[in-house]
Structure 1
Amino acid sequence: MSAHPLLDALLRHLDTQGDTVENLQRRLTAFRALGPENGGDGEMPKARQIAELLGGPGSPFTLRWCNAPDARVSCGERPNLIAHLPGREARTLWLFAHTDVVPAGPDASWTSDPWSVRREGDLLYGRGVEDNQQGLVSMLLLAAALRAALDAGAERPPLGLGLVFMADEECGNLKGLQHVLEQAGELFRPDDFYIVPDSGSPDGSEVEVAEKHVLWLRVRTSGRQCHASQPQCGVNAFVAGAAAVLACAGLTEDFPQTDALFQPPCSTFVPTRHEGGADSINILPGDDCFYVDCRLLPDVTPESVLAAARARTADVARRFGVEITVDIHHHQAASVTPQNSPVVGALAGAVAAVYGVEARPVGIGGATVAALLRRQGLPAVVWSRLLNTCHQPDEHSSIAATIGDAKVFAHVLCRC
């Protein structure tokens, strides 16, 4: 007899769930769970469907709603659902998925209806099937497998299982995980395991343990407007702003530090959004504004970058006779989970057992909800086996990977 009968039962159950993955994806995609910022009415119908799947008579899970008020949606709330099943030990494996999706974009850019899942072999196509429904469905598969095993007389797993289904991830998390942590933070313990299946690599080898600072700079240039036929009467803020763009792009020279954990291994400084300028072609613009997206290594401080940007643009201001101000438009602090955290080792062992690859810790420049957990002192990692088609036309996910990821979580849950 196997030394891990519960794990064996979970894996056998998961091996039979290919059609279940397709059916769940079809049901969830049809809800069009868009937040109000994206022209939708929120996630409540989708969240209620998830609650029906997890609850009901005989369910071993305790369900708790932690909804955030939001007058912009018809039901007045953004849903956050927490499901928990105690284990034999005090610690819990927590898995997190968001229920909202992004708009599909023009229908013409899709091969088929983005809100009606299309299957081609192992792949399912539709908006949200990867972001974040692959992780979400993996969580539901594990919950169903665990319920079936317990109904058949299996003992509870060593770790408890906690499932968090969040709203508002695509538009800032204020109504989602941030609200959950504010209202139900007592549920989450520093020695629990935290996995966010919302980013990853096609082979499953990347375990995200760190994120860079996210810093957005706003650079405003003030000159003097005049008629374009008399440029000597004004000061062209657009031209000076263009020089400021190049100056800010040069911030890479001021911060040459590298860290091999990240890809790219350096801080990045990318001028992006542009505002201001003249309303007519025959007006010399007196105002200009642009933004710089900065992704900073954890040991590069936002304050030092702001000071360097101000020094660089001050030189531009002197050369062009304009006034330039630089301020912070948005900042999210860097976050790091130590590479020797128990969750990192447990996940690496599970990935090797299921996928036969060696998992390695990585850092990213993007921002995930793991940062919110890390700021609470909770050792979160971000992992999944993803094809990375999120937010694209013809977004798709793998049925095999959805099942495989559930198996990885089963291994961690059983600590095998």
Structure 2
Amino acid sequence: MPKDMDALLRGLAGREDRVVALQSALTACPALGPDNGGDGEEAKAALITQWLEACGVTDILRIDAPDARVPSGQRPNLVARIPGKEKRTLWLFGHMDVVPPGDLAAWQSDPWQVRREGDLLFGRGVEDNQQAITSMLLLAEELHQRHVVPQLSLGLVFMADEETGSAYGLEYLLKTAPELFSKNDLYIVPDAGARRGDVIEVAEKGQLWLKIRTTGVQCHASTPHKGRNAFLAGADMALACHNGLRAAFGDTNTLFNPPTSTFVPGKHEANVPNINTVPGSDVFYVDCRLLPQVDPQAVLDKVRALASEVEERHGVQIEVSVVQQQAASSVAETSPVVIALGAAVARVYGVEARTLGIGGATVAAQLRQRDLAAAVWSCLASTCHQPNESSSITATIKDAQVFTHILMNPAHV
């Protein structure tokens, strides 16, 4: 093993306290986007910038996406670069925004204060996506402290807005500064994975989010015959989507888990504030995750056909609109980044990595759509968006060691 890489690996192995410190500071800085009732990522971006500057990173580019909904008027995106012996760059991506904690009663402690139990840290964002951010910062700090010039150059991207579509995050960055990224570079998104670290995500289902608005006639609940219950019709429509779409698009693909397309009625907007009123308007949303062979337009056409049937049954009007759409994406299992990850994972975690497709959407999709071969990998327990979200200190360090192997030993790529 080369001397510099050995020093980096040994140095990282002793950074447990630093992991706790970084995660504690990040968690105490809630970065909720405006769609989730927050002020954005400005404070967290300032914190990360301070850490990068403190460990000697001088090449820090900030690209702000204008957003009048947040106090600062902007959503920050940071690009930090550490030059290596080669221009070819290993890019790592972490998103700064988090989701709301949800039901506080379901948490065993304050979600915005890190709680430690042995190797585990608990708090909102510690896994999604602060484990990645912490691993990235650990690697930058260790390179600086050891005065090591890596073989490959290192690019660290800290993004806004991943949780609500990335329009102000990586999508904005790729549109305004595409010259940053070369097809010859390596791209890793540490935002999904498995508990043993043995899964490399190489494909993502297509994403189609639908808003379904039902319009009926409001009336007093004691005389329901005088109205048209939009909530009741909306519930019928939700069941029609759940059952009808699964029946119509039942193809399977064993690369993915689950191996089918999924159609999930989820978010529901408030209708009337009182019990004794039949609502005349009702809105809910459907999250569709589509296998690559499923045509999103065919799904939309089917939803509208189901809506016509529900309209006739209930005497209401139903409007179906697209909230967000993203095409399915994939990277070849033989691509250099997948091969490099497999070799590094074997050395650090002692397991043979397997490739898999997922239904969740990561920013790897935006990279792949621009012909940038991105793989998604991390060692995660997959507690994101749950109460008592957790992250392993050991996995955070070992993830940084995996990146170190690739950064310092490009012979594998």
**TM-score normalised according to structure 1 size:** 0.88
| 1:256-307 deviation digits (Å, cap 9, x = unpaired) | 2111111110011222344586676665555544432211101101111112
Q: Report the residue type matching 2:93 in the other structure.
A: F
Work out the CA distance in 2 between the residues paired with 1:115 and 1:239. Answer: 38
Change (3 A) 1:325 1:112: closer
Aligned to 1:132: 129
- The answer for the alignment partner of 2:165 in structure 1 is 172
1:146 correspondence with 2:143: yes
Identify the match of residue 6 of structure 1 among 4, 7, 13.
4
Deviation track 1:89-140 (CA, whole Å, cap 9, x = no partner) reads 3321000112223333465443333333232221222222222111111111
8 Å CA contact 1:276–1:287 kept in 2: the answer is no
Partner SS for 1:247 = helix
- Identity, % of aligned pairs? 57
Match of 2:109 in 1: 112
Query: How do 1:240-255 and structure 2 match up within 5 A?
Result: 240-249=233-242, 250-255=244-249
After TM superposition, give the deviation of residue 355 of structure 1 in Å. 0.5
Q: How far does residue 225 in structure 1 lie from its aligned partner after superposition? A: 5.5
Which residue is 1:63 aligned to?
Answer: 60
Q: Deviation of residue 195 (structure 1)?
A: 0.8
The C-alpha deviation readout for 1:61-102, integer Å capped at 9, x for no partner, is 522111223344444433221111222333210001122233
Write the distance in 2 (CA, Å) between the matches of 1:49 and 1:390.
22
Q: Which residue pairs with 2:94 in the alignment?
A: 97
Could you tell me which residue of structure 2 aligns to residue 217 of structure 1? 210
Select 2:250's aligned residue among 252, 256, 263: 256
Residue type of the alignment partner of 1:8:
D
Give the AA of the match of 1:367: A
Q: Name the aligned partner's letter for residue 64 of structure 2.
A: N
Pick one of 250, 253, 265 that aligns with 1:271: 265
**Structure 2 vs 1, CA of residues 237 and 84 (structure 1 numbering), >3 Å: closer, same or farther?**
closer
Partner of residue 309, structure 1: 303
The CA deviation string for residues 385-409 of structure 1, in whole angstroms up to 9 with x for no partner, is 1122223332221111011000100
Change (3 A) 1:27 1:275: closer
Give the gaps of 5 or more residues in structure 2: none
Does residue 186 of structure 2 align to residue 193 of structure 1?
Answer: yes
How far off its partner does 1:246 sit? 2.9
Q: For residues 287 and 82 of structure 2, what CA distance do their matches in structure 1 show?
A: 41
Q: 1:334 is matched with which residue?
A: 328
Q: Which residue of 350, 353, 358 corresponds with 2:344?
A: 350
Which amino acid letter does the alignment assign opposite residue 352 of structure 1? A
Q: Kindly indicate whether the alpha-carbon contact (under 8 Å) linking 2:57 and 2:80 is maintained by their aligned counterparts in 1.
A: no
Q: How many Å apart are 1:157 and its aligned residue?
A: 2.8
Pairwise CA RMSD of aligned residues? 2.7
1:87 aligns with 2:84: yes
Q: Residue 232 of structure 1: CA displacement?
A: 5.8
Among 25, 28, 38, the alignment partner of 1:27 is 25
Matched with 1:53 is 51
Once structures 1 and 2 are overlaid, which stretch shifts more, 212-221 or 283-292? Answer: 283-292
With normalisation by structure 2, the TM-score equals: 0.89
Instruction: Write the distance in 1 (CA, Å) between the matches of 2:371 and 2:58.
Output: 26
Q: 1:103 to 1:326 in 2, by over 3 A?
A: closer
Kept in 1, the 8 Å contact 2:188–2:377? The answer is: yes
In the alignment, what sits opposite 1:372?
Answer: 366
For the structure 1 residues 73 and 339, does the alpha-carbon distance in structure 2 shift closer, same or farther, using more than 3 Å as the test? Answer: same
Name the CA shift for 1:200/1:91 in 2 (closer, same or farther; >3 Å): same
Q: Distance in 1 between matches of 2:143 and 2:402?
A: 14
Specify whether residues 218 and 355 from structure 1 end up closer, same or farther in structure 2 by C-alpha distance, changes over 3 A only. Answer: same
Q: Any idea what SS the aligned residue of 1:388 has?
A: coil
Deviations 1:134-188 (A, max 9, x none): 1111111111222233x2xx5x333211001112223332222222212221111
CA distance in 2, matches of 1:387, 1:400: 12
Moved more, 61-70 or 321-330: 321-330
Return the offset for 1:5: 2.6
User: Once structures 1 and 2 are overlaid, which stretch shifts more, 274-283 or 181-190?
Assistant: 274-283
CA change 1:143–1:233 in 2 (3 A) is closer
Matching residue of 1:163: 156
CA 1:338–1:229: 2 relative to 1, 3 Å: same
Deviations 1:338-376 (CA, angstroms, capped at 9, x unpaired): 222111111111111110112112111111121221222
SS state of the match for residue 311, structure 1?
A: helix
Q: Deviations over 1:308-355 (max 9, x none)?
A: 223333344445555444343332222222222111111111111110
